[in-house]
Chain A
């Protein structure tokens, strides 16, 4: 009431950032400490005890991957929505210009038949796993343990939609230039029935239902997605260059920047967890033991149909990413 005298001092920033003794960044101001469902102690106000609440208990709070302070995680890129759009608008402008330029050079008409076959069998069917990449990132965002982790997943989901959209664009363009081929018509059949794809299909379908949030992060962001990106982005770009498909190579290079960002935050999250509790390393290694063999088999099987591809090198790069994190495989 009127006799209340202000006792709490004014602040320079949010109270939870005030202890830092330095001016907070835009990233910290708009990204930190935003979840209200942090732990078992913050049940939903409605729906307590129902299926969704049980899901949180089982797969979020009950995950073997633990941390004493999930809110403390920071994205090494300090990415916020505003800067995400600035960066990606720049990238998309660049890629759009490439498409425009190569189209005026009648690039697609000049592609060799063997390479067109590879595009049909290997490249355009990737819209199915790319959709799963987005779905998996959506799961990560919906059930992550802190807002800073949610955000990295949200931007990664958007990156996947970016890649899927550009692939859709290229599918239509290839179809237009090569109407006698089955671009745009055969992808689902290839994804569901081509022997080369079945390893990836198994890996991706299984990663979708790895519902424990810790295992999901490891199975997808440290294994399945890394396998996919080394195959469908890195190895594809390398082979495209050899085949004279510079457009595919340059587009892939641009997607590789998104891949690198995903790896930076994934790496930071692993380090953050292991630093807090070294036992987390064993937990992660246990999951790698379960997931890496399937991923490596998937890469080897799929790269058989990409002319000039080197599956051993692709798998070695995937391993190197994890080994650099101090992980077993």
Chain B
């Protein structure tokens, strides 16, 4: 007799539910942590994780993956990627590293809560591999940017960012605290593993990886693909849970979690992935437009996933399809205009050639977003730099914590309600709807503007605000990644 097949012994690893005697079941699996309190523990024994792996296989496969990814890093350090890459690609990489690794780290805490509080034994085990995976994702995505720290201090945001009150960080934290850190494990797995991971991480990790490879940053491309191969496994731990929800009278809850999560994730990724893909990545290296990626990776696959599970498309689907051609363009103008507040030097991405591409991918761009850029460019080309940074506070959405944007000169998407005597503003009808689902969850959020108005930012001027957000502390206020050289083709002299 030789070694046993995994299938011969695997079930024993997940026949681990028992009936507590010395403490109550409610103490072991409190409703606030474990969820689905009305469903008996034994029902969860039928949870069947679709992607099975044993511990022995895990440490073998993961060791090899790391060996591959880290060896590419070592080889490419010698190739001096940083000094050879375009400023646009460096913008994209810094945005990524400042925003992503620490969120990955907290996903490891989320998975650890599954290990402890999931009522399904299979989910506890998958949570353990998931916690390991996310631990890896944080570590590898800290090891890589650390190589650039002596070249560029902006990479320091990879670890310092989440300890600042930067507005972009607050937006990412708000989403993570809402969907990943403060709900029971069932809701969390639906929002994070099912909607966020199966839905969206492909965008950042496959989409950006293609752009990275084109831009010559093979270490980033390889590393990020390696990360995504773990996501493809642990993202699936929400699916069997959704089946259990559908079979046990929790359909409405499942649908609501999907609807909230999909929207919140979409709006954040419009900044995190949408802006770099359509504006930062050098034109000649762009694989697809952001909208094309969304259509290919999200619209088709996610819709099919939902249908297979008996769920509906989110109620705001038509509104979302319109948002696909709008939100990230608006956020790009917003972030670029407020560039001193960023942890990365942004790339404008609106040279004449690039505008042609934008018009082709988003017909009507020149007549809408392009007009807003015309004003910025005219000021820059004529040396009126002080007029290219806004002098007033933006309106911030209470849910997304992102600036409220819309189509310039056409639509502002601002929505508002009064809750407990306070006027509250939102960046879309969906954000307003999310707030209304659970006002107590969101009403105590202090947006960056709330903090400013409450006197938390001192001195209450641009300098004080920058300081409060970590600029002048972690790094100097950010600026155009190309030193405005792209404006030259628009200068009066160039026109003659």
Contact = CB atoms under 8 A, between A and B. Distances in A.
A69 interface: no
Contacts of B182: 44, 46-47, 50, 52-53
A192 B112 contact: no
A268 B2 CA distance: 42
Interface in B113-160: 113-117, 121, 124-125, 127-129, 131-132, 135-136, 138-140, 142-143, 146, 149-153, 156, 158-160
B231 interface: no
A33 B66 CA distance: 23
Interface string B324-335: 000000000000
Contacts of A93: 60
A115 interface: no
Contact of B28 (A30, A53, A209): A209
A89 B112 CA distance: 22
B116 A135 contact: yes
A107 to B, nearest CB: 10
Contacts of B112: 138-139, 141-142, 150, 153-154, 157
Contacts of B66: 81-82, 85
5 contacts: A8-B476, A11-B153, A26-B143, A134-B128, A176-B8
Contact of B173 (A45, A96, A100, A153): A45
A250 interface: no
Given A9-B153, A48-B445, 19 more contacts: A10-B153, A14-B146, A30-B138, A34-B159, A80-B139, A88-B59, A138-B117, A141-B115, A142-B109, A154-B131, A158-B128, A161-B55, A162-B55, A165-B13, A168-B10, A169-B9, A173-B4, A187-B15, A206-B23
Interface size class of A (residues with CB under 8 A): 35 or more
B409 interface: no
Given A96-B3, A131-B121, A48 B444 contact: yes
A100 B2 contact: yes
B1 A104 contact: yes
A80 B132 CA distance: 11
Interface in B21-41: 21-23, 27-28, 32
A31 B135 CA distance: 9
Given A8-B476, A188-B18, A161 B63 contact: no
Contacts of A171: 9, 12
Interface of A: 1-4, 6-16, 26, 29-37, 44-53, 55, 80-82, 84-86, 88-89, 92-93, 96, 99-100, 103-104, 106, 127-128, 131, 134-139, 141-142, 147, 150-151, 153-154, 157-158, 161-162, 164-169, 171-173, 176, 184, 187-188, 191-192, 201-202, 205-206, 208-209
Contacts of A46: 174-175, 177-178, 182, 441-442, 445
Contact of A6 (B62, B125, B135, B476): B476
A29 B114 CA distance: 27
Contacts of A30: 138-140, 142-143, 146
A22 to B, nearest CB: 15
B109 A168 contact: no
A85 B116 contact: no
Contacts of A6: 476
Which 6 residue pairs spanning A and B have beta carbons closest together?
A138-B115, A47-B182, A168-B12, A172-B9, A141-B112, A46-B178
B162 interface: yes
A223 to B, nearest CB: 16
Nearest to A49: B444
A276 to B, nearest CB: 21
Contacts of A151: 135
